[in-house]
Amino acid sequence: MKVYYSLKAIKAVLRDIKPSKIALVSSSYLISNCQWAISKIIKATPDKIELIRIPNGETAKEWEVLEKLLIEFIRARLDRESLVIAFGGGSVTDLVGFASSIYQRGVRYINIPTTLLAQVDSSIGGKTAINFLNYKNQIGSFYNPAAVIIDSRFLKTLKKEQTIDGFAEIVKAGLVKDPRILEIIKSSNVKIGKSPIKKELILRSIKVKQYFIKRDPKDKNIRQILNFGHTIAHALELKYGLSHGEAVFIGMIEELKIAEKLKETKPEIRIFLEKILNDLGITLPQLRPDWKYILRDKKIVGDKINLPVIKKIGKAKIIKVRALTILP
């Protein structure tokens, strides 16, 4: 899977893939918000393309929406040589990736991620999913896109909260693997919502994700390092409806505190992270994770949890601990 860094690449990608037909899937909101990009994509192959609209945001990741999307695929007469384009945030790429993985046992798809989170995280790595019976990402598959096309022009219209969502993953990538990410944030005086997002931060974060995916595509061992901060984050999101980015930042701090208690890491790392947050201009709500919600995490098997631990900045490992010993 190749990652491209400008929407201009669409022409070359389509030339490579030579699809029989194309379904471009997005929400009405994004289609009007990113009209310039939609026109560019349609212009690349006007005779083969069909625009399919899905609900906006997380509501797209529903069984009924999946069903309607598959019906649209049939209506558009997509076949095994066709291509689906997911245009949007992680909700769109998750749903479209999953639909593409099951339609006729797999049709090719490409991701054009429009949020920072989707660019550095959800569009890369082949995890696709919908929510089911109130369980998040309960039904899904591993199915890689044929290509990912990123473009920084999409990021200009993001709300501050959405930028924080992406930055939480960028800072995480720095802590688990690439200290240079954190140096760039420190030295360039980035302020969330005020400064443009440096392309190098996006590129480096994608590289970190690719490093782990390549070694553990099915998330069985070291890819779980990318879950750093997320066990507690998911519990905070469930209990308080907190945004993903804020929850991940608090989750990383709280998981570091647990690792400190277990003598697996030193307080300096947490203090460093708190400084980075301060540099970025992020203030977090004072919330405590709730063990009831932590234990609902699907990554807890039996009473054991794989906890990512930062040994030093840029170096992480997984330790297995009994869930009960980590309760706050």
Span near ligand NAD by CB under 6 A; candidates 90-98, 143-151, 234-242, 259-267: 90-98
Contact pick of 72, 165, 178, 254 for ligand NAD (by CB under 6 A) = 165
Q: Based on the shown chain and the rule CB under 6 A, indicate whether residue 210 belongs to the binding site for ligand NAD.
A: no
Give the C-alpha separation, 311 to 175, whole Å. Answer: 10
Contact 117, 74 (CB under 8 A): no
Between 118 and 321, whose beta carbon lies closer to ligand NAD? Answer: 118
Mode of pairing for the β-strands spanning 135-142 and 127-132: antiparallel
Between 99 and 321, whose beta carbon lies closer to ligand NAD? Answer: 99
Helices 267-280 + 160-176 axis angle, to 10:
150
Residues 12-51 that bind ligand NAD (CB under 6 A): 27, 29-30, 33
Instruction: Name the token pair of 27.
Output: 């929400």
Q: Based on the shown chain and the rule CB under 6 A, indicate whether residue 61 belongs to the binding site for ligand NAD.
A: yes
Q: Is 167 helix (H, G, I), strand (E, B) or coil?
A: helix
Span near ligand NAD by CB under 6 A; candidates 86-94, 104-112, 258-266, 294-302: 86-94
What phi, psi does 55 have (nearest 5°)?
Answer: -60, 160
Span near ligand NAD by CB under 6 A; candidates 16-24, 70-78, 88-96, 272-280: 88-96
Span near ligand NAD by CB under 6 A; candidates 15-23, 87-95, 195-203, 277-285: 87-95
156 membership: H or E segment, kind and range: none
Tell me how far, at minimum, the Cβ of 210 lies from ligand NAD, in Å.
12
Tell me how far, at minimum, the Cβ of 323 lies from ligand NAD, in Å.
22
Contact pick of 122, 205, 224, 231 for ligand NAD (by CB under 6 A) = 122
Helix, strand, coil tally for the chain in percent (to 5): 55, 20, 30
Among 63, 75, 58, 59, CA closest to 23 = 75
Among 57, 41, 62, CA closest to 115 = 57
* Contact positions vs ligand NAD (CB under 6 A): 27, 29-30, 33, 56-58, 61, 88-92, 94, 114-115, 117-118, 121-122, 125, 127, 137, 154, 157-158, 162, 165
